[in-house]
Amino acid sequence: MSSSGVRKQSKKQPTDKPAAKRPKIATSAIEQLERALRESEQRFRLITDAMPVMVWMSGPDKLCNYFNKSWLDFVGRTLEQELGNGWAENVHPDDFQRCLQIYASSFDARQPFEMHYRLRHHSGEFRWILDHGVPRFASDGTFEGYVGGCLDIHEQKEAAEKIKAAFLISQRLAAIVESSNDAIMSKDLNGIVTSWNPAAEKILGYTAEEMIGRSIRTVIPPELQDDEDRILATIARGERIEHFETVRLTKGGKRIEVSLTISPVKDQSGQIVGAAKVLRDITEQKKAERALRTTERLASVGKLAATVAHEINNPLEAITNLIYLAKNGAVRDDVREFLTTAEQELDRISHITKQTLGFYRDTNNPSSVRIGEMLEPLIAVFAPRGRNKRVEIRSEVLDDAAIHAVAGETRQIIANLLSNSMDAVTAGGQIRIRVSARKDHRAEPLAGVRITIADSGPGIPAEDRQRIFEPFFTTKKDVGTGLGLWVCKNIVDKHHGSIRVRSSATPGRSWTVFSLFLPSLPDPVQEEVLMQAV
């Protein structure tokens, strides 16, 4: 206290009383309270400094007046630097205004608050912290400011962001998988299906409920089961399989051509735990490619045939003339008969050559034809080969009904089928030919003739039967162009008929039967039925 306000006295008056002194008991109590307060404050600082939580305090004026050791160690600054508003210098500029608004509005309302912001670490890195503040009140209710605690949540925040990003990516991938036109599926290293998208259901016929938990071998044909072992072994080595073209089975048993791309699937530790597979149905694409190749090959054959036709046309005419002269000079009836058959076959060769090349428009109009009448001359042509191979050829004409057809083309069908049977059967084999009047198996059946040619050959495998009428497809290793049955099918279609094949390749019980139906046209009623059927 200053002395300027106190009256000076020259001396002490006898009547003056001594100045009042503080009672010893009161002084002792105050000292104890002050000591207790200092001890309490010291304990508070010791406790907060020992805490891993960053603790701060502010007064009623909103200015911070305390930071514990964890805070100071985190920012790498002194208490003096942090006091007041010094702490705000380390808040990320993008977060500062938001933090200030939350702090000020909560302070004015005397309400707890919680906020996230980035605080500069002593390393210079901005790290995310969680700050939670609550108002402080004295025992009498007086507002004294705020106390808060901060936690470093940087790793948790980044992990949460990664999880969120991964979730968004997984959602996008799931949307892509769900909307993809390709079958997308996954399996473990034992080949057990773990996922199956809608396109897989559409292409292969199995629902996800039917396939998940089931072996992928379900859709692999029996003869291709070894492929799965090789695929799993490749995936287990961490290798990718791209555009592997193969065949798969649908639920209905249909075989489809597919392209597979298969990638290893790894867990968080990098271990391969399965495979992700993309399957694309390329059946129609392959058909188009085969059609294109067929067209190109037919064009090449056409060019080659044009040259051949030009070269053999004159010799054919010469041979035809010589046979004509020989017939006129022949004495024996059997010789004349042989020469007549040879003349017919030469006419057929000439007709086939011109027809195949496209240089000749067939001017032979359809006429009344009886199949039974042309069988014996045809069988006679193959008789020498039959005797050499000890193959028995037997014909049976149950009803030789007349049909309306081009005789040369009809003869060509039967000759091609007989030639194929002769090539197929082994020594001691048999060929049976039957002609009968029948009706075609249609909703509106047509009257006509059915010809069946059966042989005891080795049979045609099931996978080949679907392709035998394709151009250039052949089961013969050393002979054959693959055009015979294709030509037969085209002639049959031209005559509005049908041709089918049945066969068994079982050893010891093998056989093949071609069944050919040609309608008895023209008949106004039958023509109308045919148009309705087509």
CATH number at residue 510: 3.30.565.10
Per-residue pLDDT band for 4 (boundaries 50, 70, 90) equals: very low
Residues 459 and 403 in one domain: yes
- Helical segments of 51-78, H only: 69-75
* Co-location of 307 and 455 in the same domain: no
Query: In this structure, are 392 and 528 located in the same domain?
Result: yes
177 vs 92, higher pLDDT: 92
Q: What are phi and psi of 458, to 5 degrees?
A: -75, -5
pLDDT at 534: 43
Asked whether residue 430 falls in the same domain as residue 469, the answer is yes
The type of residue at 4 is S
Residue 167 lies in a domain: no
Under the banding of pLDDT at 50, 70 and 90, the label for residue 314 is: low
Domain count, the chain: 4
Q: Are residues 149 and 196 in the same domain?
A: no
Check: CB of residue 411 under 8 Å from CB of residue 374: yes
Instruction: Spell out the residues 6+ positions from residue 36 whose beta carbon is closer than 8 angstroms to its own.
Output: none
The CA-based dihedral angle spanning residues 17, 19, 20, 26, taken in that order and rounded to the nearest 10 degrees: -150
Question: How many residues would you count in the chain?
Answer: 534
Q: Which of 281, 307, 333 is where one domain is finished? A: 281
Q: How far apart are CA 146 and CA 102, in angstroms?
A: 13
Last residue of a domain, one of 363, 386, 404: 363
Q: Are residues 87 and 230 in the same domain?
A: no
Question: Using one digit for the tens of pLDDT, what is the confidence trace for 99-116?
Answer: 999 999 999 999 999 999
Q: Is 1 within a domain?
A: no
**CA 77 to CA 208: how far, in whole Å?**
61
Mean pLDDT of 428-449: 79
327 with 436, same domain? no
pLDDT, residue 57, reads 92
Residue 306 banded pLDDT, cuts 50, 70, 90: low
Structural domain span for residue 114: 31-157
| 162 in any annotated domain | no
Q: What CATH number corresponds to the domain at position 74?
A: 3.30.450.20
Average pLDDT over the chain reads: 81
Using the 8-state DSSP alphabet, how is residue 118 labeled? E
Same domain, 470 and 507: yes
Q: How confident is the model at residue 267 (pLDDT cuts 50, 70, 90)?
A: confident
Asked if the structure places residue 489 within a domain, the reply is yes
| Residue 415 belongs to some domain of the structure | yes
More confident residue, 414 or 3: 414
Assessment of whether the complete model's pTM goes beyond 0.95: no
pLDDT at 32 over 50: yes
Residues 58 and 118 in one domain: yes
Domain match, 300 and 446 both: no
More confident residue, 437 or 257: 257
Q: Is the pLDDT higher at 476 or at 12?
A: 476
In tens, the pLDDT along 391-411 reads: 999 999 998 888 888 887 888
Pairing type for strands 392-397 and 430-439 reads parallel
Say yes or no: 47 and 142 in one domain.
Answer: yes
Confirm whether 26 is domain-assigned: no
Q: Are 134 and 185 within one domain?
A: no
Specify the CATH number for the domain of residue 357: 1.10.287
- Whether the pLDDT of residue 324 is over 60: the answer is yes
**pLDDT tier at 254, thresholds 50, 70, 90:** very high
Strand order in the sheet with 272-281: 193-196, 183-188, 272-281, 255-266, 241-249
Q: Is residue 23 part of a domain?
A: no
Decide which of 122, 157, 192 is a domain's last residue: 157
Q: Considering the chain, what percentage of its residues have pLDDT values greater than 90?
A: 43
